[in-house]
Amino acid sequence: MREDGKLDYLELPAADLPATKAFYGWAFGWTFIDYGPSYAAFDQGLDGGFDADATARTTTPLPVLYAHDLESMRDRVTAAGGVIVKAIYAFPGGRRFHFTDPAGTELAVWSES
């Protein structure tokens, strides 16, 4: 069962998605589920995905936390000093927002609803 505030997903940038998939597939035996031409998900102990969308991807790994109530978690993040850098938006599988912590690290929080 998913828990609020726990690391649930790791998104990694991939400027060249076919080359990235080939590397991880060859080196570690990873398999992927493609979600369009610019995104491939993996399940290798921790669910995650490679994002090749130049307009949407981050330049560093993006830890993604889970929340049952996305709006409530957004409010908790901002009350604790986090800065929202991408407002809540829908994506295939749910909704999420991005924020930076006091050190400037970008994270995301997602919910299935």
The per-residue DSSP string of 83-104 comes to EEEEEEEEETTEEEEEEE-TT-
Other beta carbons within 10 Å of 113: 7
CATH of the domain at 16: 3.10.180.10
* 3-state SS, residue 9: strand
| The token pair that represents 3 in the structure block | 């828990």
Domain of residue 11 covers: 7-111
Q: pLDDT class for 59, splitting at 50, 70, 90?
A: confident
Give this prediction's pTM: 0.83
Query: Whole-number mean pLDDT of the chain?
Result: 92
pLDDT digits (tens, 9 = 90+) for 80-109: 989 999 999 999 899 999 999 988 889 999
In the prediction, which pLDDT does 65 show? Answer: 93
Is 86 within 8 Å of 97 (Cβ atoms)? Answer: yes
**Residue holding tokens 């006091």?**
102
Q: Does residue 72 have a pLDDT over 90? A: yes
Percent residues over pLDDT 90 in the chain: 76
The answer to the question of residue 2 being in a domain is no
Q: Assess if residue 16 is contained within a domain.
A: yes
Kindly state whether residue 1 falls inside one of the protein's structural domains. no
Structurally, the chain folds into a number of domains equal to 1
CA dihedral 38, 14, 86, 42 (to 10 degrees): 70
pLDDT tens digits along 8-44 = 999 999 989 999 999 999 988 899 999 999 999 999 8
In a domain, 40, yes or no: yes
Asked whether residue 97 is domain-assigned, the answer is yes
